[in-house]
């Protein structure tokens, strides 16, 4: 076994630093060329990222325009549906009025009275049921909001 007191501790070799290494002109030229290439690649990456950002902006504008157009078409369709509903209701009212008037003309007063009673009780009940159904349907499926 070796005696510890006899052995001397050997110093670790020193790691060379940048100041200790001699840089030849060729090495400096290579480093500068490499850095120049890195800068060109980075500039190209930035141009590509900028172009991609421009495409994303164009896509977002077109998507927004399409969304606005769709919402306008939805509103037109809803307006058309409401107009059709109103026309149907008016037609029903006119036909009912004509039926009652014709019954009165023929002297069927009791029949006209029964039709009027049916309307008196049926129309408010139907309107209440219709309104309740629309209210429940509106809660189940909220209308989309207009987003600019």
Mean pLDDT lowest for which of 14-23, 90-99, 105-114, 133-142?
14-23
Q: Give the side-chain half-sphere CA count within 13 A for 94.
A: 6
Cα separation, 109 vs 114, in Å, equals 9
- Report domain extents, the chain: 25-89
Q: What is the mean pLDDT of residues 94-113?
A: 90
Alpha helices in the chain (DSSP H): 25-105, 109-140
Which pair of tokens denotes residue 30? Answer: 């290579």
pTM score of the predicted model: 0.46
- Give the mean pLDDT of 80-103: 89
The stretch 88-110 carries a mean pLDDT of 90
Average pLDDT, the chain: 84
The closest alpha carbon to 119, from 144, 142, 100, 146, belongs to: 100
Please tell me the predicted confidence (pLDDT) of residue 60. 92
- Tokens 């950002």, residue? 53
């Amino acid at each position: 076994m070796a005696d510890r007191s006899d052995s001397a501790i050997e110093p670790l070799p020193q790691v060379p630093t940048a100041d200790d290494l001699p840089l030849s002109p060729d090495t400096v030229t290579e480093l500068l060329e490499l850095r120049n290439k890195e800068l060109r690649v980075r500039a190209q990456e930035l141009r590509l990222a900028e172009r991609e950002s421009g495409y994303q902006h164009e896509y977002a504008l077109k998507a927004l325009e399409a969304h606005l157009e769709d919402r306008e078409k939805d509103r037109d369709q809803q307006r058309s549906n409401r107009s059709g509903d109103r026309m149907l209701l008016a037609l029903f009212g006119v036909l009912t009025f004509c039926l009652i008037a014709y019954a009165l003309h023929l002297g069927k007063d009791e029949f006209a009275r029964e039709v009027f009673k049916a309307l008196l009780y049926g129309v408010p009940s139907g309107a209440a049921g219709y309104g309740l159904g629309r209210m429940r349907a509106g809660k189940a499926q909220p209308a989309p909001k207009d987003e600019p």
